[in-house]
């Protein structure tokens, strides 16, 4: 997969905090703990003390699941942008990693400054 393909593939919108699904909990390694979880329309992003896990439900039924795992050690730089007032309702997070660029849009129910702290604590 080329960097351009990877970049266009890894864009998500996190809408609200949520619970961690059982199938993801079973994949955590020894010493790994969940810090936060956010849902998209059908997907879930889990932030642990070691990595970001994105559970991507696919197909009509959502039974086929692809899982992305991004160790914090691969994040080289990040930026956050708070939402505007009237027409700009999403905040944005951008991650520059060893494998490419990832963009995350945050819905109005997610505090951008809390999200900023989550990323900072994980990679600094």
Sheet holding 44-48, edge to edge: 16-17, 34-39, 44-48, 51-58, 64-71
pLDDT attached to residue 87: 58
The backbone torsions φ and ψ at residue 98, rounded to the nearest 5 degrees and listed phi first, read -65, -20
Instruction: Find where tokens 């795992």 sit.
Output: 69
Structure tokens at 84: 């505007």
Q: Is the pLDDT of residue 2 over 70?
A: no
Average pLDDT over residues 31-49: 90
Per-residue pLDDT tens digits for 3-31: 454 445 478 888 888 998 888 888 999 99
| Nearest CA-CA partner of 20 in 42, 46, 48, 58 | 46
Per-residue pLDDT tens digits for 45-100: 999 999 999 988 887 777 788 888 999 999 999 999 887 666 556 788 999 998 88
- Chain-centroid distance of CA 2 in Å reads 21
- For the chain, the maximum distance between any two Cα atoms, rounded to a whole number of angstroms, is 45
For residues 65 and 43, is the Cβ–Cβ distance under 8 A? no
Q: Which pLDDT band, with edges at 50, 70 and 90, does 1 fall under?
A: very low
pLDDT attached to residue 95: 92
Measured CA to CA, the distance from residue 7 to residue 20 in angstroms comes to: 26
């Amino acid at each position: 997969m080329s960097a351009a393909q990877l970049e266009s593939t890894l864009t998500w919108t996190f809408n609200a905090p949520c619970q961690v699904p059982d199938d993801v909990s079973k994949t955590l390694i020894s010493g790994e703990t969940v810090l936060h979880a956010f849902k998209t329309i059908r997907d879930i992003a889990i932030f642990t003390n070691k990595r970001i896990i994105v559970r991507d439900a696919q197909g009509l039924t959502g039974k086929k699941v692809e899982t992305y795992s991004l160790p914090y050690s691969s994040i080289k730089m990040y930026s956050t942008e708070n939402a505007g007032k009237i027409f700009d309702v999403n905040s944005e997070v951008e991650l520059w990693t060893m494998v490419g660029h990832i963009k995350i849009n945050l819905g109005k129910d997610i505090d951008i400054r809390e999200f900023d702290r989550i990323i900072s604590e994980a990679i600094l």
